[in-house]
Amino acid sequence: MFARLLGKPLLNPINIPLRCFAFATHRCPPSKGELLELRLDLIILSKSISLRSRDVFKRIGYDPFSLPLSSRKEFRTMRTPFFRRMAITTALVALLVAGSIASDSTAQVPSLDQWKVHDEDRPQPPMVDPGPAQDPVSPPADAIVLFDGTDLSRWEKTNGKPAAWKVENGYMEVAKGAGSIQTKQGFGDVQLHVEWAAPNTGDGQNSGNSGVFLMNIYEVQVLNSYGNTTYPDGQAAAVYGQYPPLVNASRPPDQWQSYDILFRRPHFAADGALLRPARVTVLHNGVLVQDNVILTGPTSHKKRPPYEAHLDQLPLMLQNHSEPVRYRNIWVRELLETDD
């Protein structure tokens, strides 16, 4: 294994700790099996096992008599006090580094502890006039059209029953008591286009409240944020409870607005550990408001829960917050997954 990393045969005893360092500094995180091999190497060094003790080698999975001659010479030389002390010290350091790399293969998420969830003291994003509302943006040829203004055939309630929002004049409208709706199809990495219009129905969170949920878990907030102040991580185009938008690009209530969302799903190991957190970029009315931000976990009200492993593809959801928000021209492009 280590010889392959070094790219040449191992010819002297110094190469044993070098193997450890080659592995510890290798770009790829070690697998559990490779880390176990490092630990077994260390056992051999620290115990000063004689090559004559073949049964001991068998118990820990090594039989030096089955190794190439050059490797057997390495083990014999390692019995000398100088090389043994040198290799043990080096291997210990290498093992610690390798273990650190292994633990780092579990993804880290950013800390937002500087601000409480829905912190009213968090700075309000500056206003930016995005220009007048535009006609609906035509979907590209490879897009999946989720709503073209005619029916809800691609949507259902979150309990699987038929979607019951009002459809008229080329848009759908949240129907009070009809529940949230989700796509019948699941998605992972996507480019999503959504057009919406929020009424002025009150103040703060009670003014045209809804939300676009990616994978039914991660919300980009929909709200009337034109002259309507609320906590910054809950205004229009916020990653709800986590990131306010860079700027407030809202149009007045009842005018059509757009989100263009680039979403990269989280990745999980077989044991449920987070390997890669979700990321999202959002353009609000053509203005960049979320720039490839790393999500700390699911979005939620008054808390920031940690990630929990879930399927690679889940539905998109539109939230029913009992306010008559309208949606039109919704389409999505499925993206190829990347390694970064």
Q: Which domains does the chain have, with CATH numbers?
A: 2-104 (no CATH), 144-334 (2.60.120.560)
Q: In 3-state terms, the chain is what percent helix, strand and coil (to 5)?
A: 25, 25, 50
d(CA 113, CA 216): 25
User: What confidence score (pLDDT) does residue 338 get?
Assistant: 83
User: What confidence score (pLDDT) does residue 101 get?
Assistant: 45
Entry pTM: 0.71
Name the DSSP class of 41: H
User: What confidence score (pLDDT) does residue 111 get?
Assistant: 80
CB 333 within 8 A of CB 189: no
User: What confidence score (pLDDT) does residue 113 get?
Assistant: 82
At residue 158, φ and ψ (nearest 5 deg) are -65, -15
Structure token digits, residue 116: 């409480």
- Among the listed residues 235, 246, 174, the one whose alpha carbon sits nearest the alpha carbon of residue 207: 235
pLDDT tens over the chain, length 340 residues: 433 333 433 334 445 555 555 554 554 455 556 555 655 555 555 544 444 444 444 444 444 445 454 554 554 555 556 555 555 555 555 555 445 444 445 677 888 889 999 999 999 999 999 999 989 989 999 999 999 999 999 999 999 999 999 999 999 999 999 999 999 999 999 999 999 999 998 999 999 999 999 999 999 999 999 999 999 999 999 999 999 999 999 999 999 999 999 999 999 999 999 999 999 999 999 999 999 999 999 999 999 999 999 999 999 999 999 999 999 999 999 999 887 6
Name the DSSP class of 246: S
Q: 38-76 burial string, b = 16+ CB within 10 Å, else e? A: beebbebbeeebeeeeeeebeeeebebeeeeeebebbbe
Number of H helices, E strands in the chain: 6, 15
* Residue pointed to by tokens 């273990």: 99
User: What confidence score (pLDDT) does residue 102 get?
Assistant: 46
Alpha-carbon dihedral angle through residues 27, 31, 35, 37, given to the nearest 10 degrees: -110
d(CA 159, CA 182): 9
Distances (CA, A) of 87 to 83, 92, 113: 6, 8, 43
